[in-house]
């Protein structure tokens, strides 16, 4: 089987702080893996390492069998293998939606403008934003901006998409439209690594859920197993905090 993401014995510190303490993770091609865990457990750091946004201290990362850490591949190659979506949308504020989407395909991949535009139109249709093609980011809602960010990442035609809490910065009523786009992508067979606090979403879209705590993977398995019948006490405690409170807090606000 094709292994899309292979992480082996990954260690990463920031100064004295050991953030990843020997993480190993395989994501086969086409699998959707959700990563859950308490704040500060190293989820974002892991995602950033996979996307080569951090230098690693020890271990190996390979994408489709090619070393992806420590300058093992060019930026161009990296960007065609993996796209990352952050909590903050990071669109270029001075560019239209269209220009945000076509910039990298033209600059990094050398795609002709006409072709990039037609791909962008297709992707905007896919995320339900065709009518916003000429808008500026500040004319869009947060949910719309995040959907443009997803279209922009897809324009590079990556084989893997990494999402780091893609809906955490959104008002609650805008979360659904973004999760819908991500779920559609998952259904299309895209290989994905999704860091999320949306437990029911993780259950619906993932093939596997990985629970991280304190810089290590503590438990992983099918969503029903990890989310409903966790083996580890720390997973149980985490889920108990997440699930009921989540609903209560939301209920209390209304
Ligand atoms: N660039 C950095 N410099 C120093 N410390 C960092 C840096 N990035 C992350 N850290 C620290 O590493 C630890 C893990 O951070 P990380 O962002 O990976 O956690 P997380 O699991 O994503 O948490 P959250 O759920 O809050 O997003 C935290 O203690 C954080 O303060
Ligand atoms: Mg994080």
pLDDT, one tens digit per residue, over 197-239 is 999 999 999 999 999 999 999 999 999 999 999 999 999 999 9
- Tens of pLDDT, residue by residue over 72-102, are 788 888 888 999 999 998 999 999 999 999 9
Measured CA angle at 155 (ends 153, 157), to 5 deg: 90
Q: What value does the mean pLDDT take over residues 124-134?
A: 97
**What residue has token string 């190293």?**
42
Mean pLDDT of the chain: 93
Contacts of 233 (CB under 8 A, 6+ apart): none
Q: Is the pTM of this model over 0.85?
A: yes
Number of domains in the chain: 1
**What residue has token string 């086969």?**
28
Distance CA 230, CA 237 (A): 10
- In which domain, by residue range, is 142 found? 3-253
- Tens of pLDDT, residue by residue over 130-169, are 999 999 999 999 999 999 999 999 999 999 999 999 999 9
Distance CA 114, CA 95 (A): 17
Q: Ligand 1 pocket: which of 15, 44, 167 to mutate (most atoms <8 Å of CB)?
A: 44
**Residue 73 belongs to domain with CATH number:** 3.40.50.300
Q: What value does the mean pLDDT take over residues 174-178?
A: 95
- Ligand at minimal distance from the CA of 35 is 1
Task: Kindly tell me if the per-residue pLDDT of 249 is higher than 50.
Answer: no
For ligand 1, whether the C-beta of 40 sits within 6 Å is yes
For ligand 1, whether the C-beta of 45 sits within 6 Å is yes
Task: Kindly tell me if the per-residue pLDDT of 1 is higher than 80.
Answer: no
For ligand 1, whether the C-beta of 14 sits within 6 Å is yes
* pLDDT given at position 244: 59
Distance CA 70, CA 97 (A): 33
* pLDDT given at position 71: 73
Contacts of 156 (CB under 8 A, 6+ apart): 79, 80, 83, 104, 105, 108, 109
């Amino acid at each position: 089987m094709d292994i899309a993401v292979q992480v082996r014995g990954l260690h990463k510190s920031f100064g004295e702080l050991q953030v990843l303490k020997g993480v190993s993770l395989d994501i086969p091609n086409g699998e959707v893996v959700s990563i859950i865990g308490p704040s500060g457990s190293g989820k974002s750091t892991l995602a950033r390492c996979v996307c080569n946004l951090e230098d690693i201290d020890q271990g190996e990362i390979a994408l489709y069998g090619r070393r992806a850490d420590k300058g093992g591949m060019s930026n161009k190659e990296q960007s065609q293998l993996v796209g990352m979506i952050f909590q903050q949308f990071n669109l270029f504020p001075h560019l239209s939606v269209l220009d945000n989407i076509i910039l990298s395909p033209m600059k990094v991949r050398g795609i002709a403008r006409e072709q990039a535009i037609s791909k962008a139109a297709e992707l905007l249709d896919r995320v339900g934003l065709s009518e916003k093609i000429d808008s500026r980011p500040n004319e869009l809602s947060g949910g719309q901006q995040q959907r443009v960010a997803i279209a922009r990442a897809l324009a590079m035609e990556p084989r893997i998409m990494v999402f780091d809490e893609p809906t955490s910065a959104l008002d609650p009523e805008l979360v659904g439209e973004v999760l819908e786009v991500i779920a559609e992508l998952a259904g299309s067979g895209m290989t994905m690594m999704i860091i999320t606090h949306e437990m029911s979403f993780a259950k619906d879209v993932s093939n596997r859920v990985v629970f991280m705590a304190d810089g290590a993977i503590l438990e992983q398995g099918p969503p029903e197993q990890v989310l409903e019948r966790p083996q580890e006490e720390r997973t149980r405690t985490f889920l108990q905090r997440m699930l009921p409170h989540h609903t209560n807090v939301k209920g209390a606000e209304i």
